[in-house]
Structure 1
Amino acid sequence: MESVLAILPQAKGFLPQWLFITSVLALGNTAQAYLTTSFTQRVYNTWNPKYPTSSTGKVSKVPSNSPATPLSSRTFGTWTFLQGVVRMYAAYNINDGRFYSLAMCVYAVAWMHFVSEWLVFRTAKWGEGLAGPVIVSTGSLIWMFLQWGSYVD
């Protein structure tokens, strides 16, 4: 157990650990985005029959409710990987305002992306695939905004 605790950010409070956890989850999300479109399709789930529904690019006999393609899934995975890297740097450098600000920016970009896909572009609808990213990005932004003075030198 001590070896696990040793790799966690050592700064006081729970925010650095939260950033660490969300960065690790982002790295896992990146892997699944490269391997399959099924999880990406849970977020983007408005049906359009012209979009391929499998990672091979073939149109499935059972249409998906998602415009997510293998290319868009991998692009999303790359974007998610970058966000995870920024969060990881912020977790270990929580007192540096530059890293803290960058982490807030990636959560803000994530929030804007998911909310705009839901409310503006209508490629996502509220449900299990969208709720998680919106809640995490919203909660993290609020938490980081409120805790700025506690962490940033």
Structure 2
Amino acid sequence: MASLVSTLTSYLPQHPGLLPQWLLLVSIVSIANSVQAYTTLSFTSRVYAGPSPSASKPKPPSANLMHPSAPHSPATPLSSRTFGTWTAIQSMVRLYAAYNISDANMYQMAFLTYVVAWLHFMSEWLVFGTARWGQGLAGPVFVANGTLVWMWVQWGFYVSS
């Protein structure tokens, strides 16, 4: 059993601290999220739930015809697959950074993936109104916010200038 555990842990990033393992975990979850974005609209529609039902903006009349399973969501099969592709690309950068966290360029690229994600989710919520605060949006926003702060604070620990 000890041999199995040591074999499995040998695949984890071999850097001190928890940030590399966090980046690996988020990458694995993101890859799974990419797969589901290609296979169902269910989860994407939770993030992009559309404006609150009490919002004053009227919906276009075609909205319910285009998305009968999620009448308030602007998500479409194409937008879900595009989101899945975008998520897969970001997860690859983060995965590579988890194993190369002391490389300043990789650290910055991973950091920038969280900046882009944060800007995307916040603009979809606050500017475009395609997302609304709730369980579907809270997870990505908390992960992006927390990881941005963590990476900002830990730069000097992982990257030597």
Fold shared per TM-score above 0.5: yes
Q: Which amino acid aligns with 1:139?
A: G
Q: In the TM superposition, what is the alpha-carbon distance from 1:65 to its structure 2 partner?
A: 1.8
Instruction: Return 5+ residue gaps in structure 2 as ranges.
Output: 52-58
Counterpart of 1:126 in structure 2 is 133
The yes-or-no answer on 1:35 pairing with 2:39 is yes
Counterpart of 1:50 in structure 2 is 62
Larger RCO, structure (CA 8 Å, separation 6 or more): 2
Larger Rg: 2
- What number of residue pairs does the alignment pair up? 148
Partner-residue secondary structure (3-state), 1:7: coil
Counterpart of 1:67 in structure 2 is 74
Residue identity over aligned pairs, in percent, reads 55
* CA gap 1:63/1:98 in 2 versus in 1, 3 angstroms: closer
Partner-residue secondary structure (3-state), 2:10: helix
* CA gap 1:52/1:90 in 2 versus in 1, 3 angstroms: farther
Q: TM-score, normalised by structure 1?
A: 0.91
Separation (CA, whole Å) in 2 of partners of 1:99 and 1:132? 24
Instruction: Return 5+ residue gaps in structure 1 as ranges.
Output: none
Separation (CA, whole Å) in 1 of partners of 2:128 and 2:35? 26
* CA gap 1:64/1:146 in 2 versus in 1, 3 angstroms: same
Counterpart of 1:4 in structure 2 is 8
Contact 1:37–1:70, Cα closer than 8 Å, also in 2:
yes
Q: In the TM superposition, what is the alpha-carbon distance from 1:73 to its structure 2 partner?
A: 0.1
Q: In the TM superposition, what is the alpha-carbon distance from 1:63 to its structure 2 partner?
A: 4.7
Q: Which amino acid aligns with 1:18?
A: W
